[in-house]
Amino acid sequence: MQVLMISIDKGLLGRGQLGDVVERHKKYGQRVERLDIIVFCKKGFSPYKISDKVIAYPTNSFSRLKYYGDAKKIGKKLFAENKYDLIVTQEPFLTGLAGVKLKKKFGAKLLVHFHGDFVGWRLRFAKTFVLPQADAVRVMSVGQKEKLIAAGVKPDKIAVISTPVNLAKYNRPDLARGGETKMVLHVGRDDKIKDYATLLKTFALINQKLPHVKFVKVLSGKEFAKALDDFGGKNFNVITHPQIKHDALVDFYYQSDVVVLSSVSESFGKVLVEANACGKPVVSTATTGAKEIIQDGYNGFLVPVGDAAALADKIIFLLNNPEQAKEMGENGRRLVKENFSDNLEQIINFWHKIVKS
């Protein structure tokens, strides 16, 4: 089977990698004949050879407005050289539209991913222009599937397969929490949906009651820097790490006392699974994805979206009650082992099923 992906993740081009994205796609390549990936990006990138079977091709577009057209051009060139059985798009918008165009021209099957929890006009757009042409849709959570069914997408077209998580990587009994200073950790890509304004309000509220707590933000960038500037007058210290190797992320989890997510939208919430796998309690806004990972009061806490006071209260509770925090973390370790796994084989089997249908 030969697969062509269309992605928005520039980490696949060897820069600014988020998590294990390169490693994961290398594993995909081990199970197919060929995997080529077109990546939306502005100028300045070169093709990146992930493995002998996996190569990422940048659009190197003059602007974002050119992404769609440039992806089509590269796709046509690649189809002229290879016979792809399946096109996989990362989202149901521009990558989805490019996938639809290439499917119509070359006849390959089309799988559209919903890595985001889309509602409103975004969902209507996808339903109108992309999903009717898709042979299958992959979502990250049952909640997403229910939303698509309510929007009129046929249930048998949708598969719930979350992002693969290699839980063995996070089982590190040799690692221990570092130092006496309490630490609250946020891990996530630099994106507005992470709601950094609420995150910083949460940090400030915690600092008022527990002034010696350390706040660490991993994978910070322009959006987080802007939120810090907009917040202004902060009297607490946030330690930022713009980019780290994925293996080093495990160390941050083990050094932390609580892992927090303040997002307005999450289709899954891989960070929450990873943190629980390291035995850490989690506190998150009640997004679609978080509600399928966190059992409130068992392995962490869920609070309303945008509620900094509620986030701070739950985090302070865990920091002040280390035995209960430890129990929640161990509950999380058991829960993710039961419910989540490295489901890479399930994804590959789904690809074969689509191609054969």
3-state secondary structure the chain: CEEEEEECCHHHHCCCCCCCHHHHHHHHHCCCCEEEEEECCECCCCCEEEECCEEEEECCECCHHHHHHHHHHHHHHHHHHCCCCEEEECCCCHHHHHHHHHHHHHCCEEEEEECCCCCHHHHHHHHHHHHHHCCEEEECCHHHHHHHHHCCCCHHHEEECCCCCCHHHHCCCCCCCCCCCCEEEEECCCCHHHCHHHHHHHHHHHHHHCCCCEEEEECCCHHHHHHHHHHCCCCCCEEEECCCCHHHHHHHHHHCCEEEECCCCCCCCHHHHHHHHCCCCEEEECCCCHHHHCCECCCEEEECCCCHHHHHHHHHHHHHCHHHHHHHHHHHHHHHHHHCCCCHHHHHHHHHHHHHC
pLDDT score at 213: 95
Pairing of strands 54-58, 48-51: antiparallel
pTM of the model: 0.83
**Rounded to the nearest 10 degrees, what angle do helices 222-231 and 196-209 cross at?**
50
3-state class of 246 per DSSP?
Answer: helix
Give the residues across from 230 on adjacent strands: none
What per-residue confidence (pLDDT) applies to 207?
A: 94
Range from 5-19, 110-124, 256-270 carrying the lowest mean pLDDT:
5-19
Q: Residue 209 above 80 pLDDT?
A: yes
Instruction: Give the whole-angstrom CA distance, residue 224 versus residue 209.
Output: 24
CATH of 168-339, one of 2.60.120.650, 1.10.10.10, 3.40.50.920, 3.40.50.2000: 3.40.50.2000
In this structure, CATH architecture of domain 2-164+342-356 = 3-Layer(aba) Sandwich (3.40)
CA pair distance 293, 272, nearest whole angstrom: 7
Q: In the predicted model, what is the mean pLDDT of residues 158-181?
A: 84
For residue 265, pLDDT beyond 70:
yes
| Structure token digits, residue 106 | 């070359």
For residue 342, pLDDT over 80 is answered with no
Q: Can you tell me whether residue 39 is helix, strand or coil? A: strand
Pairing assessment for the beta strands 54-58 and 214-218 based on DSSP bridges: unpaired
Q: How confident is the model at residue 171 (pLDDT cuts 50, 70, 90)?
A: confident
Phi then psi dihedrals of residue 345, to 5 deg: -65, -35
The CA distance from 16 to 3, in Å, is: 24
Locate tokens 């506190």: which residue? Answer: 283
pLDDT > 80? residue 19? no
Residue 18 has pLDDT above 60, yes or no: no
Please determine, for residue 16, whether its predicted confidence score (pLDDT) is greater than 90: no
Residues of the chain with CATH 3.40.50.2000: 2-164+342-356, 168-339
Residue 114 has pLDDT above 90, yes or no: yes
Tell me what the mean pLDDT of segment 277-301 comes to.
Answer: 96
219-233, 234-248, 275-289: the lowest-pLDDT one: 234-248
Average pLDDT score, the chain: 93
Q: For residues 161-167, give the mean pLDDT.
A: 85
**Amino acid present at 299:** N
The residue among 348, 198, 342 whose CA lies nearest residue 274 is 342
Q: What six digits make up the tokens of 142? A: 């049952």
CB count, 10 Å around CB of 320?
Answer: 12
